Structure 1
């Protein structure tokens, strides 16, 4: 078997079921100011279409994008034509990337405008999941209007669930008390936010993992770093899905193969 579908996991109590690996799409829209160990060219449309088809064949149903990922949303919209219902799309609000720099806006007005723009770019009538792209001042961000606005957009049916991509334990815990999901850094190097995963498990909230492979920086002597990473990440019962940001078909296949090996060994 070479498909993740039997291992889909519930995103807390949202009713959404996600593949345990999601495809991150920053590399199809932005190659400036990114923290990868080596540079890369943006793939052309044909390459992205092939990558999406490969991901679907491997059982991946989660696509992670954001306004801060350059042209990612704008490119995905046309490329997903005719297959939108096969995907759970996660986008973000709060961070804009312009002229090589990020800026942040967590106001009610910007939050609504950002979601409506994402809907247009992605040529869709709903976003399954929208996360707040925190600037690192998590508790201050959550004091602003962004969460109440996302809650209103959820009631209007434009988004199905919302949550927070933060950088602190305190922010993650507060975000989960009020929202559906948190995106957390968790890998072999960095496990300081584990308390957020534990809280999510106890309270039936969703967890997405970012930097599961330490953005490609991981190296373990004599061991398979991808497998060891996924053993840690997918082995925590609070984790719904780990986002893997690759544009290389070989790497995508290897990551899914490693995940399947880990998941089958947990049965």
Structure 2
């Protein structure tokens, strides 16, 4: 495993982090047994992964992580989020001060810790000015409940507004949607912010495990979030999936490992988050940190040339 300094902080994070959305199961991904989650978390730890990223709306993710990491808290960088709430089957934005404070207290309890290393705004809230939300986070940082502030799903306007307070940006970044990450690289470099890429496998499609459109539940995250699992969208990305599989076979690695290595080949990337629900997936994801990708391989993966 390789480790990178996260922006201008004193945090050194593993180049590959464990994303906790799928781990938490719930309606987005289907039920997860806690014993399976524990094995996956332990495998990630043993592979050198130190950054564990989660959120209150990721099912049982925070609970599973809190229990599994008990006694190993000093070894890891815990990242969670605020600003999204579940209203029945609907997800709403909510960055009001009382919501931020309440979500943090609940996250601290579920994660069985008295501080969060990286506390992130999950999405901007169109009803709450970013400066107002940041003021609350600054107070929580002064109280020692969070160490650093981060932004997720942020554009240039949000990054500029948070300059001097946020230390990193977490945006989607994958071979299927490379511009979603690259769009903010320049701002991150200018302001000395770390960049964490999520969705590196696009819900698993870049692992090459889907040879045809999967029959997914309507509420499955791969249906409503990644939007590359149906009809023309599936057909349009599948050539890229085949290129990843071909290149991975030549390198003697798993397709999932190579997809992560592609993202890490960009020097602006501090860490890539990959979801895992099994030990094998965790180990394949972690292996990305040790795979070098040449410029010719990058071109082939992106352009097929």
Judge which range, 154-163 or 209-218, deviates more: 209-218
Displacement of 1:253 after TM fit? Answer: 1.4
Structure with larger Rg: 2
Partner of 1:196: 184
CA distance, structure 1, for counterparts of residue 118 and residue 270 of structure 2: 13
Please give the root-mean-square deviation of Cα atoms over the aligned residues, in Å. Answer: 2.4
Judge which range, 170-179 or 237-246, deviates more: 170-179
CA distance, structure 2, for counterparts of residue 263 and residue 31 of structure 1: 35
CA distance, structure 1, for counterparts of residue 176 and residue 150 of structure 2: 24
Partner of 2:31: 41
- Correspondent of 2:4 among 5, 9, 12: 9
Alpha-carbon contact 1:136-1:168 (below 8 Å) kept: no
Note the residue ranges of structure 1 that are not aligned, 5 or more in a row. Answer: none
Length, aligned pairs only: 252
Note the residue ranges of structure 2 that are not aligned, 5 or more in a row. Answer: 207-240, 249-254, 296-305
CA distance, structure 2, for counterparts of residue 175 and residue 161 of structure 1: 12
Aligned pair 1:212/2:207, yes or no?
no
Displacement of 1:17 after TM fit? Answer: 0.7
Aligned pair 1:77/2:101, yes or no?
no
Judge which range, 127-136 or 165-174, deviates more: 165-174
Matched ranges for 1:1-267 at <5 A: 4=1, 7-32=2-27, 34=28, 40-42=30-32, 44-134=33-123, 137=126, 142-143=129-130, 145-166=132-153, 168-176=155-163, 178-190=165-177, 191-218=179-206, 219-221=241-243, 222-224=246-248, 225-262=255-292
Alpha-carbon contact 1:132-1:163 (below 8 Å) kept: yes
- 1:263–1:108 distance in 2 versus 1, CA, 3 Å: farther
- 1:91–1:263 distance in 2 versus 1, CA, 3 Å: farther
Alpha-carbon contact 1:125-1:158 (below 8 Å) kept: yes
Alpha-carbon contact 1:23-1:63 (below 8 Å) kept: yes
Q: TM-score, normalised by structure 2?
A: 0.75
CA distance, structure 1, for counterparts of residue 187 and residue 199 of structure 2: 20
Q: TM-score, normalised by structure 1?
A: 0.85
- Higher normalized helix content (fraction of residues): 2
Judge which range, 23-32 or 164-173, deviates more: 164-173
